[in-house]
Amino acid sequence: MTARLAVLVSGSGTNLQAILDACATGHLDATTELVVSNRRDAYGLERAARAGVASAYHPLGPYREAGHSREAYDAALADLVAAAEPDWVVLAGWMHVLSAAFLDRFPGRVLNLHPALPGAFPGARAIADALAAHDRGEVGETGVMVHFVPDAGVDDGPVLAVRPVPIEAGDTLESLGDRVHAVEHRLLVEVLVDLVRQQVSATPPVAPAPASPVPGHQPTHRQRRQPMNPLNEELFDRFESLTFDDVVVVPGYSEVMPDDADTRATFAADIELAVPVVSAAMDRVTEAHMAIALARLGGIGVIHRNLTVAEQAGEVDRVKRSQSGMINDPVTLPPTATVADAEALMGRFSISGVPITAPDGRLVGILTNRDVRFCGPQDMGRPITELMTAERLVTAREGTTLAEAKAILQKHRIEKLPLVDAEGRLRGLITVKDILKASGHPNATRDRQGRLRAAAAVGVGDDVEARVDALVKAGVDAVVVDTAHGHSAGVIKAVSRIKGGWPDLAIVAGNVVTQEGVEALADAGADAVKVGVGAGSICTTRVIAGSGLPQLSAIWDCARAGRRRGVPLIGDGGISYSGDIVKAIAAGAETVMLGNLLAGTDEAPGELELYEGRRYKAYRGMGSMGALQGLGADRYASNAGGAQAGRKLVPEGIEGRVPYAGLVGEVVDQLVGGLRSGMGYAGAGNLDDLRRTARFSKV
């Protein structure tokens, strides 16, 4: 759709000419509908006339002479511009500060071009001030920026793009001005091309003239995410593809001690993490054991889908039952159960006791491991009614708080407190173990009921609804539509189907490496997007299929669309060191997904092997032959069953082993410690600051 522009100028209009030329050649898919100047002699009006563009002279003097306010002038200017129905209003050398009377009519759609770096040299003398500062030895460069104009501030607002311009020895105002203006012409057009191509604006048509100030515009999709450091634009534009080893983060002024750095991040929707670490949905990385451990550390695990629906839902159920402030749906046994039944149930869920309920749900007793501690093989057939506690059973009414429950548990010296309703039906269970776990893991990722959070991977096949339904019933907090190529019709349809059936469920989708991919998934309903094709250490997609993009460039490019759509990005693949996490987040990722670095831990499901005197754990890519022969073949557009069962699988991953790494807690502590150090070097108190202030340098 061709965009409509209104351009405001006060001088010669060279930036206007750059816009007109770009429109004429088709480089910029837009039409300039109106040019306005506050000066009669502005050559920009002549340029508009030569291009056949409507123009208007709107001077301030008559308003002042008549005693009218500046707001009245701006309101009349807004009426003039609004008549052209512009999608974007461009201030290209406009020498007046606009008030809310104008800006509130075009919320989120007014752009300004300023010949200085962000925060430096505001006002009309920016180039002269920069040259004077250089002559005093204070600066070595100036620059050009394009930014939104949200309020009446002078040359500030959310920055869209920046280009540095070196100040050379012997520069005059004329020579420096020529170089700055040349950069202005290119940068302004580049920003407009990007805005129009990506259709960034989610704003409604021009607002009607208000009788009173209009509240700020609310985007129809999601709020924009925090901007990144625009000084990195030049680096990524100069080099088409960069990965983690290609750059370093330049240390900057800092008042941040690493221990004080805030590493909180958003995974998807309202799921907040204390640390930006997500375990990969791989069958040698994440099942319940890993998901539990990582959630306690403040991250989140994505349980792989190389399992049957029932098996995967069972893994989620194990996570949700492993720790909670209150268990809303505790596992129970009927009075007819045997000791063998109780032993099996407690072993399956790693619990030390189980309530006994009648068929109508009434609580009739409780059985703990102390009751069966000395039972031998000969006792396995005994009914649990002979061993359970039934008389003087301590209970509490549903709605009891954790603090109240703690006092009851302490008073009666018991470890489990069943919660019942007025009819005596079991409604929940609070345990000492869960209270202690909660206090022992203050940063744990928990849901509103105090349970650990868990995500699970799903595919795009015919069983996706059945799998999602089972996972939701098990309590899953997010599903990850996990494919190698997320920018595809099947994935987009799957995301839309899931969002339509479960609108409150957080959905992550991927993988993509382009802005278009991010936007397609976000528009389909994804609450977060995974970025990375071929970046993993055991992924061979780039070799086998010739497809992919170096990970740092992929994250940087996708982050532009992520900010516009308000969806967080998960950098998936290519992370070898903690410094890579710093770079991934600085480039625009909200969190990182780890496979290789976690596969060697105790909590990973891979088998421990001894090789040449050293310990290793098995590891494989989900595109490896072994994984493709399981239940997740459709991740790589393969169908292990059905009509294509006879087709030969083409692996895009390998199998191998990784060194044994010990407890996942120790690994994550080291990684987060490195992230905090990087934040300290960059002067970033939180991850938004890191994305905004970190500056890359090419190695």
Find where tokens 């976690």 sit. 598
Give the residue extent of every domain in the chain. 3-220, 258-321+447-698, 339-440
Each residue's pLDDT tens digit, 56-66? 999 988 888 88
Helix axis angle for 173-198 and 14-25, nearest 10°, is 40
CATH superfamily of 258-321+447-698: Aldolase class I (3.20.20.70)
Handedness of CA 519, 525, 529, 533 (dihedral sign): negative
pLDDT at 656: 72
**Residue 30's beta-bridge partner residues?**
3
Q: How many other C-beta atoms lie within 10 A of the C-beta of residue 614? A: 10
Contact 439, 451 (CB under 8 A): no
More confident: 122 or 8: 8
Lowest mean pLDDT segment, chosen from 30-34, 210-214, 428-432? 210-214
E strand segments, 388-450 = 396-397, 416-420, 426-431
- At the top level of CATH, which class does the domain 339-440 belong to? alpha beta
Q: Looking at 321, 467, 635, 691, which residue is catalytic?
A: 635
**When comparing pLDDT for 157 and 444, which is higher?**
444
Q: What is the mean pLDDT of residues 155-161?
A: 75
pLDDT in tens, 319-346: 998 876 677 788 999 999 999 999 999 8
Minimum mean pLDDT among 124-128, 254-258, 436-440: which range?
436-440
Closest CA to 280 of 457, 76, 461, 129: 457
pLDDT of residue 616: 87
Q: Are 390 and 367 in contact (CB under 8 A)?
A: no
CB-CB neighbours of 153 under 10 Å: 11
Give the residue from 322, 328, 358, 321 showing the smallest Cα distance to 428: 328
pLDDT-derived band of residue 214, with 50, 70 and 90 as boundaries?
A: very low
Position 627 pLDDT exceeds 50:
no
Q: Give yes or no for residue 102 having a pLDDT over 70.
A: yes
Per-residue pLDDT, 219: 30
Residue located via tokens 């102390």: 370
Identify the H or E element spanning 689: helix 687-693
Spatial separation of the C-alpha atoms in residues 68 and 61, rounded to whole Å: 10
Q: In 3D, which of 272, 621, 692 has the Cα closest to residue 453?
A: 272
What residue has token string 């009669």? Answer: 40
- The DSSP annotation for 28-56 comes to S-EEEEEEEES-TT-HHHHHHHHTT--EE
Query: Is 305 an active-site residue?
Result: no
Dihedral of CA atoms 551, 556, 560, 565 in degrees, nearest 10, equals 40
Beta bridge partners of 665: none
Is there a contact between 356 and 345 (Cβ–Cβ < 8 Å)?
A: no
More confident residue, 1 or 516: 516
Share of the chain above pLDDT 70, in %: 87
Whole-number pLDDT of residue 655? 59
pLDDT of residue 192: 92
- On the question of pLDDT at 238 being above 80, the answer is no
- Report, as an integer, the average pLDDT of 479-502: 95
pLDDT tier, 624 (very low <50, low <70, confident <90, very high otherwise):
very low
Check: CB of residue 531 under 8 Å from CB of residue 511. yes
Q: Which of 39-48, 201-210, 576-585 has the lowest mean pLDDT?
A: 201-210
What pLDDT band is residue 545 in, cutting at 50, 70 and 90?
low
Give CA separation, 263 vs 149, 439, 555, 575, 584, in Å. Answer: 30, 20, 19, 17, 14
pTM: 0.59
Q: How confident is the model at residue 593 (pLDDT cuts 50, 70, 90)?
A: very high
Q: Chain-wide mean pLDDT for the chain?
A: 86
Flag whether pLDDT at 523 surpasses 80. Answer: yes
The mean pLDDT value for 414-430 works out to 91
Q: How many CB atoms lie within 10 A of CB 359?
A: 8
Both tokens assigned to 184: 């202005």
Q: Per the residue annotation, which of 284, 296, 321, 539 is the catalytic one?
A: 539
3-220 has CATH 3.40.50.170 classification: yes
Give yes or no for a contact between 620 and 655, defined as CB atoms under 8 angstroms apart. yes
> Alpha carbon of 178 to those of 21, 91, 116, 145, 146: distances in Å?
19, 19, 14, 16, 18
Confidence tier at 352 by pLDDT (50, 70, 90): confident
Do residues 424 and 362 lie in contact, with contact meaning Cβ atoms separated by under 8 Å? yes
Both tokens assigned to 599: 């596969």
**pLDDT above 90 covers what percent of the chain?**
56
539 is known as an active-site residue: yes
The first and second tokens of residue 668, run together, are 């994550």
- Residue 307, pLDDT > 90, answer yes
pLDDT surpasses 90 at 625: no
Q: Is the pLDDT of residue 641 over 60?
A: no
User: 636: closest CA among 650, 620, 648, 626?
Assistant: 650
Looking at residue 570, what is its pLDDT? 98
Q: How does residue 536 score in pLDDT terms, banded at 50, 70 and 90? A: low
Question: Does residue 532 register a pLDDT over 70?
Answer: yes
Of 107 and 674, the one with more pLDDT: 674
Q: Rounded to the nearest 5°, which phi and psi values hold at 407?
A: -65, -40
Q: What is the mean pLDDT of residues 238-262?
A: 91
Predicted pLDDT at 645: 43
pLDDT recorded at residue 215: 30
pLDDT at 541 over 60: no
> What pLDDT, on the 0 to 100 scale, is given for residue 118?
81
Q: What is the mean pLDDT of residues 604-619?
A: 84
Q: For residue 621, what pLDDT is reported?
A: 56
Closest CA to 455 of 353, 315, 552, 345: 315
Using the predicted structure, report yes or no on whether residue 228 has a pLDDT greater than 90.
no
369: confidence class by pLDDT, cuts 50, 70, 90: confident
> Which letter, b or e, does each residue of 281-319 get, where b requires 16 or more Cβ atoms within 10 Å of its Cβ?
bbbbbbbbbbbbbbbbbbbbbbbbbbbebeebbbbbbbb
